[in-house]
Amino acid sequence: MVVIGIAIVVFLVAMTVLSPVIAPHNPTALSVGPADSAPSLAFPMGTNRLGEDIFSRMIAGGSTMMEVAGLSVLICFLIGVPLGLVAGYSRRMVDSPLSLLMDSLYAFPGLVLAIAIAAVLGRGVVNLSIAIAVVYIPTYFRVVRSQVLTIKELPFVEAVKVEGGGTLNVLFRQIFPNVLPSIAVIASINVADSVITEAGLTYLGLGVNVAAPDWGFDIYYGYQSLLAGAWWTVLFPGLMVVLLAGGFTFIGEGLSEVLNPRLRR
Amino acid sequence: MQTTIDPADAYDYFGINMIDNLGAPLIDFAPGTTNTGPSGLVPALATKWSESADGLTYTFILRSGVKYDDGTPFNSTDVAFSVNRGMAIYDPNGAFNGLGVSSIIGSVTTPNATAVTFHLKAPFSAFLSMMTFGIMYPVNPNKVSKFSCTVAAPCNDETGIVNFTSSSAAASNPNGLGPYTLTSWTRSGTKDVQMVLTANPNYWDYPAYPKTHTIIIKFYPDATSLAAAIKSGDVDIAYRQFATTDIESMMTNPSLKVYPSPGAFIQYLVINENNAPYNDINVRQGIAAAINRTDLINTVFAGTATPLYSQIPVGMAYHTDAFKTAYGAGPNYTLARQLLAKSGYTASNKLTISLTYETTGHYPQSPDQAQVMAKDLEASGVITVNLQGVDWPTMHTDVRAGSLGVFEYGWYPDFIDPYDYTTPFLSSTGASWLNDGYNSSAMDSLLSQSLSATTSTASSIYGQIQTLQAQNVPIVPLYQGGSNCCGAVTKTTVGGVYLDVTLIFRLYTIYETT
Amino acid sequence: MSLKSYIITRALLTIPTVLLLVTIVFLIVRVLPGDPALLHFGKTVNPTALAAVKHALGLDVPIYAQYYNYITGLFQGNLGIAFSNEQPVAPQILSAFPATLELSIGSMMVAVIVGVLLGVRSSRKYGSVEDVVIRTFGVVVYSIPVFFLGLILISVFAIAFHILPSGGRIEGLVPTGGTIFGVHVRTGLYTVDSVLAGNLGGLVDALRHLVLPCTALGLYISAVFLRITRSNMLEALGQEYVTAAKARGLKERTVLFSYGLRNGLLPVLTIMGLEFAGLMGGAILTETTFAWNGIGTYIVTAITDRDYIAIQGAVVFFGILVSLVSLVVDILYAYLDPRIRY
């Protein structure tokens, strides 16, 4: 499963990176073909309401999503994991307020938080990534923290502490590597979620600039054409999102299966 | 949407439209009218009206024997009461304040039970048109609560306004002279869910109108769910706001009928002269010359809108194609390049402009429009366009802060008169809401002349106003109407739909065939 | 620590959690670009009028004063007056909530039924083609954006085949005073209201409108249940007591259902509680797609209108709800696993 997932993701990333070279038309060039025309030899995926070539838009349309998803996972990792490690390992004084803050954030309807932050920060890949990251940091925090709570009681950790290993040493050299597998699983699932959230934000009008092609944007605007019978305007961007999110989910699912030997018989 | 259909406070399109169907004006435009001058007015609650020679006094003779839907008799004191109430309550964001009614009307007197006279503070050529606007429809004095303000000392008395109340539709509706009465109004959260209108036997033109006894109004949050509803047969009529592709497909759908709207909704580009390089007249004129209205309308609106060459829309009195006269039908790239060259902009030194548009569906398909306009402006070879999309509240605020460059805006008329399309845009004081830095004493002088213009002088004055706008270019008009914003789609079994320039959707003329 | 004191501690902790939540949202909305007072004016603005509106909305006092007023109001159970229509927020939220509740319950039902059944099946047939197919289904369904699935469902079932309505909650024919489709609105859950009144037509209509949105949202969430059920079933089935039971000659079916499922289901229940929080995000997009007037629509509209009080009110409401659900879940956990106390 992991292999399939990685293959899909690598393929999509490569496609996006190479898009300036392989896309037959400029994805934002208007009226290269008749509006809302069905898939044909000239336009393998048809055209949308503005006469743009959908095939080219599909090849190039993932870049925003990938950048945002990747960046937001990075932010989550850099903030959520250390905080979780610290909270799990420390005494109540440090743990309580941190957990309280994370619980509050967790109770915040995720999409609303993302919308609000996106509205505050404005458009742009970085801002959107921050908005999505803030929503998922509590999840990383919680998972890491609960793992640390369990691991720190284990004998080998006690042994290191007895031998005089400092806190940082214990945290990063003993506990962190054991927490890593869970993080990997969470991260993959989260990238999938980020992709979907980014699509959702674009759907609500809060995405990045219209100048760059974007699958989420195309789904929203394609719906009008869909009602008129032009199914290709919605189906293809939707499938691309499913592919990308699916790829990451496969990785996550596969990893969780591999890392949990109790499930294998 | 606001929660009120009280003429003293409602200022949103839908609230006013409900007043149009639940109440009645003194005078009106005929459904489907193409004549929006004073000669196009027809009697409603008033049978005759006259204007004094100095333009300061208007007298209306009312029908006798008219009653409200609850049986209360109607007479001239109700008209005076309603107008005075609107001026006294002074909700800061209500229509009475927005239109400046208190600076137009001095007092209202009632010589007898069927006559009412308005005394104006100064001549106002658009007064009769204003009387057709929903806020001037008389309310039922028994249905409104006491308020403490007076015309001399207006105050913001919220309790005086009749708002939505979930317990009773009748208590939410202070109108009552119209073809319909409100029998049910349901809301959920801040959204309307459903309204039910049933025929009012006390309507002065009953039983000729309304044609249909019961109308159920359902609300959809956006253009696509509305289109889905009419296409799946969930509703018989769909009104207002559709996407272009939906309109196109519905036009070829044998079970649906599409009514394009000659409506007076317009969109235009505002150029903010407070910021460079927009204070340069060559830049503004260059943009006006390079604009391609045809491509915009064909690509984004499938040709269903009309190109607009003046701030005053086609179909309104005194309209002239001022921008076409000045720059050609467009795009006129040769002229644009000449104009921009005068300020040193060439193919190697392009003019860079920023074009701001809204992204949350406030106007039809703004991102698409922006893309097309950018492409066409850049096709001149000497302009680079930076597109900026922001959500509506941000844009609304940024406009008033004066921080934008070029931005696209729209306008629904308050009432049908060229005044409503000129002073609010071109007057140095009246156009302050646009904060575009336009200040021309010549224009201001023409505008104040238009206020007291008579039918013989108006044509010339408005002609000069439009020509001057095409010269100064504070605003570039783009297009008007179109089915997107103001059209209707019905099943083929529905008739009696009249869409005209007033943008009033008259439910009482609609009937079902077979 | 005893169970009782754990419950009390957790319950008390809800208060600062919600307070912190309120503070966060209070600050965030005030950083949003766009002036809510200005939004009341479509066109011309005169400064006196603007000042009057600012005063009416309570925006002309310093921020800490606004905060203080709001918090004290909260403790009195008052969620404030909405900016957009100057009506109290609490009744608006309460009138919008039943729609979201009906959607959530329906979706959860779909998610649990589909997810658990498929998860059990998949665990039974571990390693087989059927297992792979089911797991792929789970992955795919999880990767489909809810609104995309919704759009597809609408275009197929409503537009193409006219079997189901395209949106909204109820048809709405001639009502009789305060009712919708002759459904006397009591709880706001149209299905329940219809049943209470013995109104079969209303019930059918309400259900017809629920089918597509609950399917779209429910399928998306079912993937989580599928995964959890499957892994828990596999784990349970690998336990020694199961092997022992089978060794004693019990039929596989019995083993599956009485031992495996019972132990596998407990985490499902707790997941149901946790997913409830995630439902809101999905609900917003689903409600937007299906013209469903619930809290999701309420929040999105409030953000568009920069209606601070309405946004705060909805977030507070939802925050309390989620905290309560988490509380119940945590208590269940603690009850079942004595190792975890605070």
pLDDT by residue (tens digit) across B37-81?
Answer: 788 899 999 999 999 988 899 999 999 999 999 999 999 999 999
Mean pLDDT across the stretch A153-161?
A: 70
Strand partners, B108: B118
- What's the confidence (pLDDT) of residue C342? 44
Distance separating alpha carbons of residues A154 and B438, to the nearest angstrom: 75
Does pLDDT of B35 surpass 90?
Answer: no
Which positions in chain B touch C301 (Cβ < 8 Å)? 189-191
* % chain B with pLDDT above 70: 99
pLDDT of C241 > 60? The answer is no
Of A67-81, B186-200, B418-432, C315-329, the one with minimum mean pLDDT is: C315-329
Q: Transcribe C180-246 into DSSP letters.
A: ETTEE-SSS-HHHHHHHHT-HHHHHHHHHHHHHHHHHHHHHHHHHHHHHHHHHHHHHHTSHHHHHHH
Interval A206-253: pLDDT, tens:
766 666 788 888 887 787 777 777 788 888 888 888 888 888 888 887
Q: Which residue of C has its CA nearest to B10?
A: C85
Model pLDDT, residue B475: 95
Residues of C in contact with B398 (CB under 8 A): 33
How confident is the model at residue A263, as a pLDDT? Answer: 45
Residue B280 Cα distances to A35, B351, B356, B437, B470, angstroms? 38, 11, 19, 12, 15
C-alpha C100/C-alpha B189 separation (Å) is: 11
Contact between A242 and C159 using a beta-carbon 8 Å cutoff:
no
Q: Stretch C67-74: mean pLDDT, rounded?
A: 85
Q: Does the pLDDT of residue C263 top 70, yes or no? A: no
Q: Which residues in chain C touch residue A227, judged by CB atoms under 8 angstroms apart?
A: 155, 159
- Chain-chain contact of C154 with B391 (C-beta, under 8 angstroms): no
8 Å CB contact of C92 and B189: yes
Q: Are B424 and B281 in contact (CB under 8 A)?
A: no
Tokens of A168: 């940082």
CA B285/CA B330 separation, integer angstroms: 12
Q: What's the confidence (pLDDT) of residue C276?
A: 74
> What number is the average pLDDT over the span B422-446?
90
CB A253 within 8 A of CB C139: yes
What is the residue-averaged pLDDT of chain C? 78
* 8 Å CB contact of C44 and B163: no
Residue B245's pLDDT is what? 74
Q: How many Å apart are CA B481 and CA B503, to the nearest integer?
A: 10
- Is the pLDDT at B353 greater than 90, yes or no? yes
Residues 54-113 of B with CB under 8 A from C: 92-93, 97-98, 100
Q: Cβ of A224 and B244 within 8 Å?
A: yes
What's the start-to-end Cα distance of chain B, in Å?
35
Query: Which chain A residues are closer than 8 Å to C21 by Cβ?
Result: 104-105, 107-108
Pairing of strands B475-480, B306-307: antiparallel
Task: Read off the pLDDT band of B460 (50, 70, 90).
Answer: very high
Q: Which residues of C touch A122 (CB under 8 A)?
A: 33
User: Averaged over A99-122, what is the pLDDT?
Assistant: 77
Of A205, A224, A228, the CB nearest to B359: A205
Position C208 scores a pLDDT of: 87
pLDDT at C77 over 50: yes
Question: What confidence tens digit (pLDDT) does each residue in A169-182 have?
Answer: 666 666 777 777 77
Among A119-133, A193-207, B188-202, B220-234, which range has the highest average pLDDT? Answer: B188-202
Arithmetic mean of pLDDT, C105-124 = 87
To the nearest whole Å, the CA of A29 is away from the closest chain C CA by 25
* B392/C85 Cβ within 8 A: no
- The verdict on a CB contact (< 8 Å) between B245 and A205 is no
Which of A30, A36, A205 minimises the CB distance to B391? A205
Do the beta carbons of residue C332 and residue C270 sit within 8 Å? yes
Tell the residue number behind the tokens 């069927």, with chain if given: B114
Q: Which residues are paired to C123 by β-bridges?
A: none
Task: Give the pLDDT of residue B184.
Answer: 85
Type and span of the H or E element at B118: strand B115-120
Query: Would you state the pLDDT for residue C51?
Result: 82
Q: Cβ of C39 and B396 within 8 Å?
A: yes
Return the residue in B164, B187, B232 with the most chain C beta carbons within 10 A, the one to mutate for interface testing: B232
Residue A259 CB partners (closer than 8 Å, separation 6+): A181, A182, A184, A185
Mutate to test the interface with B, among A123, A221, A224 (most CBs of B within 10 A): A224
User: What pLDDT, on a 0 to 100 scale, did the predictor assign at position C177?
Assistant: 43
Q: Which single residue is written with the structure tokens 């959809």?
A: B220
User: What pLDDT does B250 receive?
Assistant: 84
Residue B100 vs residues B56, B458, B510: alpha-carbon distances, Å: 16, 22, 34
- A84-107: average pLDDT: 79
Q: Which residues of C touch A244 (CB under 8 A)?
A: 143
pLDDT for res C337: 58
* Residue C31 in this model has a pLDDT that exceeds 90: no
Residue-by-residue DSSP string for B343-406: TT--SSS-EEEEEEEE-SSSSTTHHHHHHHHHHHHHTTSSEEEEEEEE-HHHHHHHHHHT--SE
Asked if C281 contacts C318 with a C-beta cutoff of 8 angstroms, the reply is no
pLDDT at B513 over 90: no
Instruction: Give the minimum alpha-carbon distance from B256 to chain A in angstroms, rounded to a whole number.
Output: 13
Query: What confidence category does residue C174 fall into, taking pLDDT thresholds of 50, 70 and 90?
Result: very low
User: Residue C296, by phi and psi: left (phi above 0), alpha (psi -120 to 50) or beta?
Assistant: alpha
Write the residue in A1, A115, A250 that is nearest to C303 by C-beta: A115
Q: How far apart are CA B502 and CA B36, in angstroms?
A: 8
Instruction: State the residue for tokens 């004006």.
Output: B25
Q: What is Dmax (Cα atoms) for chain C?
A: 87
In this predicted structure, the answer to whether residue C209 has a pLDDT above a threshold of 80 is yes
User: What local confidence, expressed as pLDDT, does residue C184 receive?
Assistant: 67
Nearest-CA distance from B249 to chain A in Å? 5
Please, are residues C260 and C254 in contact by the beta-carbon 8 Å criterion? no
* Interface test mutation site (partner B, options A26, A28, A30, max chain B beta carbons within 10 A): A30
Question: Looking at residues C299-328, what average pLDDT do you find?
Answer: 82
Assess whether pLDDT exceeds 80 at residue A151. Answer: no
Q: Is B391 on the interface with C (CB under 8 A)?
A: yes
| 8 Å CB contact between A81 and A190 | no
Spatial strand order of the sheet with B214-218 comes to: B180-188, B191-199, B214-218
Buried b (16+ CB within 10 A) or exposed e, B365-394: bbbbbbbbbbbbbeebebbebebbbbbbbb
* Distance of alpha carbon B482 from alpha carbon B487, whole angstroms: 7
pLDDT above 80 for C88: yes
The confidence score (pLDDT) of residue B303 equals 81
CB B87 within 8 A of CB B70: no
Tokens of C41: 């004016």
Whole-angstrom distance, CA of residue B235 vs CA of residue B225: 12
Instruction: Say which residue, C247 or B40, is predicted with more confidence.
Output: B40
Chain B closest-CA separation from residue A53 CA (Å): 15
